[in-house]
């Protein structure tokens, strides 16, 4: 049976997918394989998680969630999803500081690709990791912690170093948020000001009209907030889509895991359905110029664009993180599912944003590989000297010089 990704826009080339049920079985599998790569929940839109040999998924491994109440951390299996983890953390009185818009994705795959949510002070999901265990090319189990020199290169590693089996995540005390949808944000707004008005803020735009998804600790009492009007019923990010799978938006407070994602964790994964996605991360100070540049080409985007989302993400120091060393603005594109029509438009977006130092989201579509840091190239050579975890995507990336 042909294995496809979540969006069904690509078929994996791997000959077989394995689902080990124990750590020892996984170690034997990796040690005996010639080419193999980890597969998360399949939410990537490119061949970043493919393999010319076999794939290995960890959803058959024993369920592992171990909350350390004293340390304020959780040790969790890489195949566990945020949708399953978050309610359990909440029952223990804890939260993750940030979540992606869709909670149904696996923790291991999300971390490996620097998946993120939103918020001026919120880092990507990978930055919450304080320790990882991974099985390397010869079946050995390696444990790394923040103090280890290889750690910042091993967290966001695109599966190039081995198969991550468990991760330890930092926790914060559980909290509540209000979520509001505000319609009719006028052009000319200051993105820096708007983005600072909530714990997590998303702008949804077709580059002509814009509405705001605002997630706040406190109630919003300004009826005319930035000249907008309040939505009077639940909304979906893509206009016209049913909103029953979206998290509560009408200001009623709710637990962090029922407000931070755009989509409910207890509902089937919801999005536009037939779609492709791209996202580019730029220094936050370029947000206003990036918005102006994209508005200028909106007529060329419109035939293949369903919706764009603008968010902010705080800096980290993980080597392959697109947020490394800079607070960022994230500009996301949900396209129609027509690869031939969409790829030239992605190239146009890359051209338009090129002067603003864009970096791509690893799990989405782009046409230009960024430079590979020499330190990561050396790390990949040490952890996988035979290229067992390599694929076309990684081989191309590892040859892109950062000088």
In CATH terms, the fold of domain 176-360 is: Alpha-Beta Plaits (3.30.70)
SS3 360: strand
Say how far apart CA 365 and CA 46 lie, in whole Å. Answer: 6
pLDDT in tens, the chain (403 residues): 578 887 778 888 888 999 999 999 999 999 999 999 999 888 888 888 888 999 999 999 999 999 999 999 999 999 999 999 999 999 999 999 999 999 999 999 999 999 999 999 999 999 999 999 999 999 999 999 999 999 999 999 999 999 999 999 999 999 999 999 999 999 889 999 999 999 999 999 999 999 999 999 999 999 899 999 999 999 999 988 899 999 999 999 999 999 999 999 888 765 545 899 999 999 999 999 999 999 999 999 999 999 999 999 999 999 999 999 999 999 999 999 999 999 999 999 999 999 999 999 999 999 999 999 999 999 999 999 999 999 999 999 998 776 5
CATH number assigned to the domain covering 65-173: 3.30.465.10
Nearest Cα to Cα of residue 61 among 32, 83, 81: 81
How far is the C-alpha of 233 from the C-alpha of 256, rounded, in Å?
21
Nearest to 300 by CA among 394, 179, 208: 208
CA distance 134 to 356: 36
**pLDDT recorded at residue 219:** 97
Whole-number pLDDT of residue 402: 65
Q: Is 125 helix (H, G, I), strand (E, B) or coil?
A: helix
CA–CA separation, 234 vs 238, rounded Å?
12
- Quote the CA–CA distance of 280 and 128 in Å, as a whole number: 21
CA distance readout (Å), 301 to 186, 310, 341, 354: 20, 16, 11, 17
Q: What is the pLDDT of residue 257?
A: 97
Question: For residues 66 and 36, what is the distance between their CA atoms, to the nearest angstrom?
Answer: 28
Exposure string of 77-100, with b = 16+ CB inside 10 Å and e = fewer, is: bbbbbbbbbbeebbeeebbbbbbb
Q: In this structure, what are the phi and psi dihedrals at residue 118, rounded to the nearest 5 degrees? A: -145, 155
Element (H, E) at 287: helix 287-295
Burial environment of residue 237 by CB neighbours within 10 A (0 to 12, 13 to 18, 19 or more)? buried
Position 270 scores a pLDDT of 57
Distance CA 257, CA 243 (A): 17
What is the pairing mode between strands 141-145 and 129-135? antiparallel
Terminus-to-terminus CA distance in the chain, angstroms? 43
Q: Where are the domains of the chain?
A: 65-173, 176-360
Which region holds residue 261: left if phi is over 0, alpha if psi is between -120 and 50, else beta? beta
């Amino acid at each position: 049976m042909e294995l496809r990704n979540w969006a069904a826009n690509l078929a994996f080339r791997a000959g077989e997918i394995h689902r080990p049920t124990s750590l020892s079985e996984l170690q034997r599998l990796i040690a005996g394989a010639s080419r193999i790569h980890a597969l998360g929940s399949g939410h990537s839109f490119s061949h970043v998680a493919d393999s010319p040999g076999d794939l290995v998924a960890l959803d058959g491994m024993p369920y592992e969630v171990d909350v350390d109440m004293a340390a304020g951390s959780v040790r969790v299996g890489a195949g566990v999803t945020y949708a399953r983890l978050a309610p359990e953390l909440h029952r223990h009185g804890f939260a993750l500081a940030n979540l992606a818009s869709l909670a149904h994705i696996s923790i291991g795959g999300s971390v490996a690709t620097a998946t993120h949510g939103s918020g001026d002070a919120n880092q990507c999901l990978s930055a919450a990791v304080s320790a990882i265990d991974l099985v390397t090319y010869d079946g050995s189990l390696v444990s790394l912690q923040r103090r280890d020199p290889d750690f910042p290169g091993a967290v966001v590693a695109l599966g190039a170093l081995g198969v991550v089996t468990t991760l330890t995540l930092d926790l914060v005390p559980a909290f509540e948020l209000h979520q509001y949808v505000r319609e009719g944000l006028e052009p000319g707004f200051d993105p820096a000001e708007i983005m600072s008005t909530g714990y997590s803020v998303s702008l949804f735009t077709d580059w002509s009209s814009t509405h705001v998804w605002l997630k706040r600790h406190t109630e919003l009492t300004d009826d005319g907030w930035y000249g907008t009007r309040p939505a009077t019923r639940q909304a979906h990010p893509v206009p016209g889509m049913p909103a029953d799978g979206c998290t509560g938006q009408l200001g009623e407070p709710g637990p962090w895991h029922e407000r931070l994602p755009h989509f409910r964790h207890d509902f089937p994964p919801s999005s536009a359905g037939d779609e492709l996605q791209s996202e580019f991360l730029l220094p936050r100070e370029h947000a206003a110029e990036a918005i102006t540049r994209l508005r200028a080409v909106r007529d060329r985007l419109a035939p293949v664009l369903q919706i764009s989302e603008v968010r902010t993400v705080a800096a980290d120091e993980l080597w392959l993180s697109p947020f490394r060393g800079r607070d960022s603005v994230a500009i996301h594109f949900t396209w129609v599912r027509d690869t031939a029509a969409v790829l030239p438009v992605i190239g146009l977006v890359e051209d338009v944003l090129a002067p603003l130092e864009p970096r791509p989201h690893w799990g989405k579509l782009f046409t230009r590989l960024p430079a590979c840091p020499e330190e990561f190239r050396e790390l990949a050579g040490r952890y996988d000297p035979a290229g067992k975890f390599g694929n076309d995507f990684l081989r191309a990336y590892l040859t892109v010089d950062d000088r």
